[in-house]
C-alpha cells in the first residue's frame, strides 16, 4: 500500500529492488523506522596486510562509519547501508548486530551481503539484504560516510527518510512526504475495507474491486436495504 500511494500520487517508485528478509522469524511482521545511513565504496583490493597496516597507522578502521551509524541511532531507527550491491561481501556480521541491537536499532537494510546468520538468527535481529556470504569486507570495500544520502536497490535514501519493510520487500518514504503518505494510506485502508466486504458479499468481481470504485459502496448499500 505504501508503494502504491507513492506511485499513484507522486509518481515515485521507491522499492529497494533485490533486498529481501533474511530470516523466517520476520514473516507476518512489518518494520517501520527512520533511516540512519552508512555508505561503502570499493577499494583497490590491496594486500590485506597492507590495508590493515594503513588502518593501524591512521587510527581508523574500514567499518568506522557503520559503527558511527550505530552509535548515532536512536531506539527504533533502521540502519540503511549502501554497499554498492556487493552481494558476496558482508556489510554486517554478528558483532556489529550485537552493537546495533544493544543500541535499540530495530532492523538493518543492506544493499550487499550479510554473514554470521546462524548467530544473528538467535539474536532475532531483522535483516533485509541482497545476499548471504561468508566473506568479510576488508580488502574489498570500506565505509566512507554516515548519515549521508545513499543508494540502495536503485533508490536514493536520505537520513531521516522512513523505511517500511515486510515479506514483500522494502520501500523508502521521503521524510518530507511521510505525513501526507500516512494520511493517504489511511484513506486507502478505509476503501480497502469496503472493497473486502464487497468481495465477500457481491457476486461479480467488477462490482467489488478495485478499492475506490464508487459503485462498490452503492452495491453494498442496496444489499443492506
The CATH number of residue 10's host domain is 3.50.30.40
Per DSSP, which regions of the chain are E strands? 20-21, 31-42, 78-92, 107-114, 127-132, 141-146, 150-152, 155-157, 162-166, 169-173
pLDDT band with cut points at 50, 70 and 90 for residue 214? low
Domain region containing 30:
2-173
**Residue 132 reports pLDDT greater than 90:** yes
- Helix %, strand %, coil % for the chain, to 5? 40, 30, 30
- Into how many domains does the chain fold? 2
The cell numbers describing 64, all together, are 568506522
Residues 6+ apart with CB under 8 A from 192: 1, 211
3-state secondary structure (DSSP) of residue 163: strand
Query: Is 77 in the same domain as 120?
Result: yes
pTM for the full predicted model:
0.87
Query: Is 140 in the same domain as 189?
Result: no
Query: Is 140 in the same domain as 96?
Result: yes
Higher pLDDT, 44 or 13: 13
Highest mean pLDDT: which of 39-43, 85-89, 93-97?
93-97
Query: Is 161 in the same domain as 186?
Result: no
Half-sphere exposure of residue 223, counting CA atoms within 13 Å on the CB side? 15
Query: Is 64 in the same domain as 159?
Result: yes
Query: Is 43 in the same domain as 89?
Result: yes
Query: Is 105 in the same domain as 200?
Result: no
Residue 225: predicted pLDDT? 42
Query: Is 217 in the same domain as 157?
Result: no
Higher pLDDT, 110 or 62: 110
* Mean per-residue pLDDT over the chain, rounded: 90
Least confident span in 49-63, 142-156, 171-185, 193-207:
193-207
Query: Is 132 in the same domain as 155?
Result: yes
Query: Is 158 in the same domain as 69?
Result: yes
Query: Is 75 in the same domain as 164?
Result: yes
**Residue 47 reports pLDDT greater than 70:** yes
**Residue 202 reports pLDDT greater than 80:** no
Residue 41: predicted pLDDT? 92
Query: Is 140 in the same domain as 196?
Result: no
Query: Average of pLDDT values for 82-101?
Result: 95
Amino acid at each position: 500500500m505504501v508503494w502504491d500511494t507513492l506511485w499513484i500520487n507522486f509518481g515515485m517508485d521507491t522499492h529497494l529492488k533485490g533486498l529481501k528478509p533474511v530470516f523466517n522469524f520476520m514473516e507476518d511482521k512489518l518494520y517501520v523506522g527512520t533511516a540512519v545511513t552508512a555508505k561503502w565504496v570499493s577499494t583497490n583490493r590491496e594486500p590485506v596486510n597492507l590495508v590493515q597496516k594503513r588502518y593501524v597507522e591512521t587510527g581508523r578502521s574500514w567499518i568506522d562509519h557503520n559503527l558511527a551509524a550505530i552509535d548515532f541511532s536512536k531506539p527504533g531507527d533502521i540502519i540503511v547501508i549502501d554497499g554498492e550491491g556487493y552481494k558476496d561481501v558482508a556489510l554486517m556480521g554478528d558483532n556489529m548486530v550485537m552493537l546495533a541491537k544493544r543500541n535499540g536499532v530495530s532492523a538493518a537494510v543492506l544493499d550487499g551481503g550479510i554473514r554470521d546468520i546462524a548467530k544473528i538468527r538467535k539474536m532475532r535481529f531483522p535483516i533485509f539484504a541482497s545476499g548471504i556470504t561468508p566473506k568479510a569486507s576488508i580488502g574489498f570495500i570500506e565505509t566512507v560516510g554516515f548519515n549521508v544520502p545513499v543508494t540502495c536497490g536503485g533508490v536514493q535514501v536520505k537520513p531521516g527518510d522512513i523505511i517500511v519493510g515486510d515479506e514483500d520487500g522494502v520501500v523508502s518514504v521521503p521524510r518530507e512526504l511521510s505525513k501526507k503518505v500516512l494520511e493517504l494510506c489511511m484513506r486507502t485502508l478505509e476503501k480497502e475495507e469496503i472493497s473486502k466486504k464487497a468481495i465477500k458479499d457481491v457476486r461479480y468481481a467488477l462490482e467489488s474491486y478495485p478499492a475506490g470504485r464508487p459503485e462498490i459502496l452503492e452495491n453494498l448499500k442496496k444489499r443492506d436495504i
